[in-house]
Amino acid sequence: MIKIVLLVLLTTLFSIADSKVLYTLDFTKQKSGDAKAWLKSKGIIFKLDSDEFSMKFDDGRVVISTNGEKVALIGIQFPKDKYLQNAGTVKIEWGVDRFPQGADWASGNNRLAIGAIFVLGTEKLSSGLPMGVKNAPYFLGPFIGEKEQSGKMYLGKLYKEGGRYYCVSNKKDTTVVTNFNIDEKFQQAFKKPTPPLTAFGFQMNTKNTKGGAKAFIKKVTFYSK
């Protein structure tokens, strides 16, 4: 088993080494202080309760936190001429300092301290709500979960047609390096060629939980196939 794991890891690392960097969002060189103005100046969109969250640069990280029951979604929408047409693997350097108490996907409380969202294509698929409300393109959502099974794919309450979530780690108080193969995961889940990456973002959701949450992101790098 150890040999198999090492082989998979080495194969992934060599694959990344041979790939081209398509896009990078790097927080490691930012000076400590409030991060919201800088993030917005870089074209990052704030949605839902994002303006009510604390977002600060600290020790080469953007630290996102809340003590309440809120939902933050921040991200970048690429213009059509800058879609990432050949996205393969994304490397995320991130971590969780505090998980929301009560988040448990197995029991249906699909909340999280930090998760990424990678939007693929522009075709709108059903959200599961009536009359086409909140329909959205395909997306993949890796996240760090406390109680979820690392390596397992999950379905949300909505977006079952086009959305897939993946627990990538259960670790706390440490930097997690995630190499997530967007191209491979999409084809496994939807049995069709992977569309271009049109947007990406990060979310924190503490609704129906206690104690709030705290997480951080250091760097995100997209590589070609």
pLDDT averaged per 10 residues, the chain (length 225): 39 55 96 97 96 98 98 97 97 98 95 98 94 91 97 95 97 98 98 98 98 98 97
Q: What is the pTM of this model?
A: 0.90
CA distance linking residue 32 with residue 29, whole number of Å: 9
Tell me what pLDDT residue 5 has: 37
Contact present, 72 and 213 (Cβ < 8 Å): no
Q: Quick one: pLDDT at residue 6?
A: 36
Nearest to 97 by CA among 123, 130, 59: 59
**What's residue 19's pLDDT?**
77
Per the CATH hierarchy, to which homologous superfamily does domain 20-224 belong?
A: Galactose-binding lectin (2.60.120.430)
**What pLDDT sits at residue 131?**
79
- What's the one-letter identity of residue 148? E
* Measured CA distances, 181 to 12, 140, 188 (Å): 9, 10, 11
d(CA 90, CA 200): 11
pLDDT at 133: 81
